[in-house]
Amino acid sequence: MVKKIVFGLMALLIGLLPERLSADTPMVGAQVIIEPGQTDAEIETWFKRMNENGMKLCRIRMFEEYIHQSDSTWDFTLFDKAFKIAEKYGIKVFAGLFPASPGNSIGGFKFPLSQKHEEQIREYVFQLVSHYKNFKSLYGWVLMNEPGTGGGVPNTDYTKAKFEEWKKNQPKLDYNSKGYTLLKSFEKQKFLVDYNTWYLSWLAIEIAKYDTAHEVHVNNHQIFENIAEYDFPAWRKFLTSLGASAHPSWHFGYFNRSQYTVAMSANCNIVRSGAGDLPYLVTELQGGNNTYSGANPFCPTAEETTQWLWTSIATGAQGVIFWSLNARSIGEEAGEWALLDFQYNASDRLNAAKQVIKCINQNETLFTNVKPVNSGIYVLYNRPSFWIEKEVQYGQANNYEGREPGGVIKSALAYYEVLSEKGIVPNIGEFAEFDWTKSDYTGVSIILANTVSLPSAYWENIRGFVKKGGKLFVEGLTGYHDENMLNLFNTGFPLQDVFGGSIKEIKCIPGDFTMKVKAAMPAHLWKGYIYNTSGKILSRENDLITGTTNKFGKGEVIWIPSLLGLGGRRTGDYESLSNLLTEELQPSIPVRFEKHEKELFMQTSKGTDGLFSLVINKSKEQKTVKIKSPYKSRILFSDGKAALKVNTLTIHPEETVLIAWK
């Protein structure tokens, strides 16, 4: 059932949205920083550089403080220059809303601060949209820079009033607590999800009052930490495309640098899942150096720029916009992030991007309407699992990573990574983004990796998925709670017939240990034992059962209630888990590595004119690998000295290769 949108604004947008982005070759561009003090010659140079390097799209942050004068008049002269020069060089502009708010020159505020502030935002939108809607270079509107607070609800009278209004409009919960006292319903967390949706839809409605001809877009950020705040299916109602910020220095704290490629891929595929049938873009991709900003400051190499750009394209992004072309000149981030040097010449990173753009332009039909080849495997997560994980924190301790913040998403990402190193990139998305309505799931697999909450609303969906032929691979503390922290194993496991049993006990073993599931493999922190009622024993320790498979209807559940994903991730040893997954899930993908290839990444995608595979070597060694494929192959792109002979690829450290299949 489509979730009711807060405050009833969504219906006002029906019939107002412009046409969606058409299928086309991906557009690559960059953020152009426009500030008072810049000369006309400088602005001209920046757009000229974009044109010289094949860029067709830019984003400009429309600072209210630069156009709203102290005498209450509006002066658009500064940004008018940029829009007109962009038109001269054939570059389209995504205009990013950035209303004034004290102390918010970088990330921006996420919600109005007061009723007066809301009225000021409304006036700003009117002035801005009315002025720029007829500019030929305008491509679309970015509603906000990076919604998401990190889980906190603002402590303002404005938000408190919205919270009370929200509570009055909530339907009575259809929930059976089995007689137990309901202690935790995560009211504020649910409100924050709807509050984000409400404010974004409010901005979309304000724009639609004056302009219904251009794109409406928003870019989320810090996806792996903020993911529980985003209701992407609800956002589809007022957006024409969905975007993401992907700055490794800020957003990939759960990964080391050698894993940034797989992090980029996962980030993109999460947003692709959220976008549904809408196009998605990487709205901000790190372009340059962090001097003082960034939680993990560094400067991307030219090779990393190539890797991230191709990864975005291979996952289906219809646009990639670097942050940024030129550097800010004043304040936080001054002199940072840029693709250009201080003399406005191309850096090695921009030169690398130019080569990618050149390859796209030379092979337009191959890179039109790109979609990843569906492996048939879905790694699913849900919001209550993140809320519960955060609620039960008692401070961090060494060797307890599985129960610290991020344990849930890190478990899911471990399965994403291990499969990617086999060339079998899975889908990854939230429960509500998966289609539970099909009549047959033969050949489809779902991985529930340490999904500590199984919300009651999805019990029958899971049951139906397996009954109709789907395979369910379950690990870790999956099913430990329902959505309100009621322990399901202590109160009668509702999916016992589907799983073939319940949990007998879960033991905490700090750090990492080895367990045998067909072969020895690392596990982390928790070892679960199954109370088996109908399953076939997959693994055991003496008289204790550690893994089972259970036939249910036309499908099957593979259940190993220990943290195998995190065990592999922490130790860097995925091979046994990779072999187990390949054997049990039997993914339907025509191109993949013949065996597990540590620190290699491969994504196979389909464009209008055929298949191509992206292969990236993140190891420190030259690798010669065999690729399983029924097709003839040729190297389409390489930024090194790769060689390919009869589907055997030699690839060097940090090298990126695109293979075209015919």
pLDDT tier, 182 (very low <50, low <70, confident <90, very high otherwise): confident
- 11: CB partners within 8 A, 6+ apart: none
pLDDT of residue 12 exceeding 60: no
Task: Report the pLDDT value the prediction gives residue 130, as an integer from 0 to 100.
Answer: 98
CA angle 237, 242, 246 (to 5 degrees): 150
How many helices (H) and strands (E) the chain has is answered by: 17, 26
Bigger pLDDT: 581 vs 173: 581
- 102: CB partners within 8 A, 6+ apart: none
pLDDT tens-digit profile of 273-298?
Answer: 999 999 999 999 999 999 999 999 99
Q: Which two tokens stand for residue 294?
A: 């960034």
Q: Provide Rg for the chain, Cα atoms.
A: 25
pLDDT tier, 18 (very low <50, low <70, confident <90, very high otherwise): low
Q: What gap in Å lies between CA 93 and CA 86, rounded to an integer? A: 7
Task: Report the pLDDT value the prediction gives residue 164, as an integer from 0 to 100.
Answer: 97
Q: What gap in Å lies between CA 160 and CA 162, rounded to an integer? A: 5
For the chain, domains (ranges, CATH) are 6-362 (3.20.20.80), 377-585 (3.40.50.880), 600-661 (2.60.40)
Share of the chain above pLDDT 90, in %: 92
Q: Which two tokens stand for residue 334?
A: 């001054």
pLDDT of residue 2 exceeding 50: no
Task: Report the pLDDT value the prediction gives residue 504, as an integer from 0 to 100.
Answer: 98
Phi, psi of 84, deg, nearest 5: -70, -40
Task: Report the pLDDT value the prediction gives residue 20, as an integer from 0 to 100.
Answer: 47
DSSP state of 344: S
The pTM (predicted TM-score) of the whole model is 0.96
Q: What is the largest CA-CA distance in the chain?
A: 81
pLDDT tier, 7 (very low <50, low <70, confident <90, very high otherwise): very low
pLDDT tens-digit profile of 449-504?
Answer: 999 999 999 999 999 999 999 999 999 999 999 999 999 999 999 999 999 999 99
- What is the rounded average pLDDT of the residues 564-581? 98
Task: Report the pLDDT value the prediction gives residue 106, as an integer from 0 to 100.
Answer: 74
pLDDT tens-digit profile of 233-245?
Answer: 999 999 999 999 9
- What is the rounded average pLDDT of the residues 102-122? 89
Task: Report the pLDDT value the prediction gives residue 10, as an integer from 0 to 100.
Answer: 53
Task: Report the pLDDT value the prediction gives residue 331, as an integer from 0 to 100.
Answer: 87
Task: Report the pLDDT value the prediction gives residue 23, as an integer from 0 to 100.
Answer: 52
